[in-house]
Amino acid sequence: MYVADEHRYDKKMPIRRAGNTGFQLPAISFGMWHSYGETANYADTRDIMLKAFDAGIFSFDLAANYGPGTGEAERLFGQVFHRELAPYRDELVISTKAGFHMWPGPYGEMSSRKALVASLDQSLERMGLDYVDVYYSHRFDPNTSPEETAVALNDLVKQGKTLYVGISNYTAPQAMAMVKIFKDLHTPFVIDQVSYNMLNQKAAQDGLFDRMRENNAGIMAYGPLAEGLLTDKYLDGIPEDLNIHWSSQYIFDNGRDKIFHKLQALNKIAQSRGQKLAHMALAWLLHDPVVTSVITGASKPEHLAENLKAVQNLSFDSEELAAIDKILKA
C-alpha cells in the first residue's frame, strides 16, 4: 500500500496563488493529455503519478476527451486514485474539462448547458469522484451565449459537483464576457488555461494576462515546451514533418529556420544559467506571477525528473529577461 512521502511539501516545489483567491497550485501541474488512455500501462502510470505527488505536485489536469477514446485518461486516473491516492483527496486539485468532441451528436461537444452537465456527470463516474476541484469550459462556443455557459458552470458549483470553475482557449474578449457574468453570479472563477510558451505568446499579447490579473484570476499554461520544440531535441535542426499543437503552429509562418536560430540563441542563455533549454523554458513561464501553474506531461519517471529541475532556478535578472525578449521578438 502506497504511503506518500512525508516531506512532499518540503521539496522546494513552489506553491502559487491565483490572484487574491484561496485557490493555490504547485508551480508544475501533472497533465494527462498525452500518453494516458486505453493503451497505457497501469503500473507505469501509477508509478509516475505517485512520484509526482511525492515531489509536491498535487494538481492533476484531465479532460473528457483525453485519451485515445472518450474518457480513457479519466478512467485510468480514477483507478490509480482509488487504489493509492484516495486517502489524500483533500490535498489534491483534480480538474477536468468539456468542450472538444466527447461523443456523437450535437451535445457531444462545445459548451451548451446540456453538454457541460452531461460531460461532468460522466467524468465524475469515470473517475469515481463526488466532485472535481475545477471544471472548465474547454473552448469558446460561438453558437451558445456566454450566459448559458456561465450559468451552467455556476449551477454545477451550487450542486457541489465542482468547487471552482475555469475557462480554456478563450481570447481576451471572450474571457471577459464570461468574467462579467461570473462576477454577477458570484461564481468562483479562478483560472484560465491557455496555450503559452516562449515561442507562442498570443495569450499574453492579446491582453488576456492583464485582464486575469485585474480580476484576481490566474493563468494555467499548457504546451509549455511546444511539444518538445523547446528542448535539446531540435538544436541540430527542425524536421519539416514536425507537428505541434494547433495553437502554436503559427510560429512557423515565417519559416522554420527563423525558429531554429531562436532556439540556438535561447540555448546559449540557458547554458549561461546552468540550465537545459527545457528547464529555462519552463522557468521563464513562471517569471510572471499571473501564471499560477504550468502543465507538463510525463510518460516516464525520467521525464518527470527533468521537468522538476526547472523549479531549481526560477530567478531571472533584468538583463536575462531583456536578452530573451530580444530573441523572441526578432
Q: What is the pLDDT of residue 131?
A: 98
Segment 80-89 mean pLDDT: 97
Please state the φ and ψ torsions of residue 90, each to the nearest 5 degrees: -70, -10
What's the length of the chain? 330
Using alpha carbons, list the distances in angstroms from residue 81 to 75, 77, 85, 294, 304: 10, 6, 5, 22, 19
pLDDT of residue 34: 63
Compute the half-sphere exposure of residue 16: CA atoms within 13 Å on the CB side of its CA: 28
Residue 298 has pLDDT above 90, yes or no: no
Please check whether residue 28 is in contact with residue 296, taking contact to mean a CB–CB distance below 8 angstroms: yes
Q: What is the pLDDT of residue 40?
A: 65
Tell me what the mean pLDDT of segment 162-176 comes to: 97
- Using the Cα atoms of residue 165, residue 166, residue 167 and residue 169 in order, give the sign of their dihedral: negative
Helix, strand, or coil (residue 73): helix
Burial of 147 (0-12, 13-18, 19+ CB in 10 A): middle
Least confident of 75-84, 126-135, 172-181, 251-260: 251-260
Greater pLDDT, 152 or 71: 152
**Over 90: is that where the pLDDT of 137 sits?**
yes
More confident residue, 276 or 247: 276
More confident of the two residues 297 and 292 = 292
Q: Residue 21: is its pLDDT beyond 60? A: yes
Q: Indicate whether 35 pLDDT > 70.
A: no
Q: pLDDT at position 296, please?
A: 93
**Number of Cβ atoms within 10 Å of the Cβ of 10:** 9
Provide mean pLDDT across the span 235-263: 79
Query: With pLDDT > 70 as the criterion, what percentage of the chain qualifies?
Result: 98
What confidence tier does 78 reach under pLDDT thresholds 50, 70, 90?
A: very high
- Percent of the chain with pLDDT strictly greater than 90: 75
Average pLDDT of the segment spanning 313-326: 95
**CB count in 10 Å sphere of residue 319:** 9
Going by C-alpha positions, the residue among 70, 52, 54, 51 that lies closest to residue 62 is 70
Confidence of residue 42 (pLDDT cuts 50, 70, 90): confident
Distance CA 286, CA 280 (A): 10
Q: Which of 216, 204, 206, 199 is nearest to 280 (CA)?
A: 199
Say if domain 8-226+278-315 classifies as CATH 3.20.20.100: yes
CA gap 220, 292 in Å, rounded: 6
User: DSSP string covering 174-186, please?
Assistant: HHHHHHHHHHHHT
Q: What is the pLDDT of residue 1?
A: 85
Average pLDDT over residues 88-107: 95
Domains of the chain, by residue range, sit at 8-226+278-315
- For the chain, first and last CA: distance in Å? 53
Mean confidence (pLDDT) of the chain:
92
Mean pLDDT on 99-105: 91
Residue 76 has pLDDT above 70, yes or no: yes
Contact call for residues 120 and 96 (beta carbons, < 8 A) = yes
* Greater pLDDT, 276 or 249: 276
Buried b (16+ CB within 10 A) or exposed e, 95-131: bbbbbbebeeeebbbbbbbebbbbbbebbbebbebeb
- Contact between residue 322 and residue 330 where contact means Cβ atoms under 8 Å apart: no
pLDDT band of residue 238 (cuts 50, 70, 90) is confident
Q: How confident is the model at residue 244 (pLDDT cuts 50, 70, 90)?
A: confident
Instruction: Tell me the β-bridge partners of 194.
Output: 221
Residue 36 pLDDT class (50, 70, 90 cuts): low
Q: Can you state the angle between helices 301-308 and 42-54, rounded to 10 degrees? A: 20
pLDDT-based confidence at residue 240 (cuts at 50, 70, 90) = confident
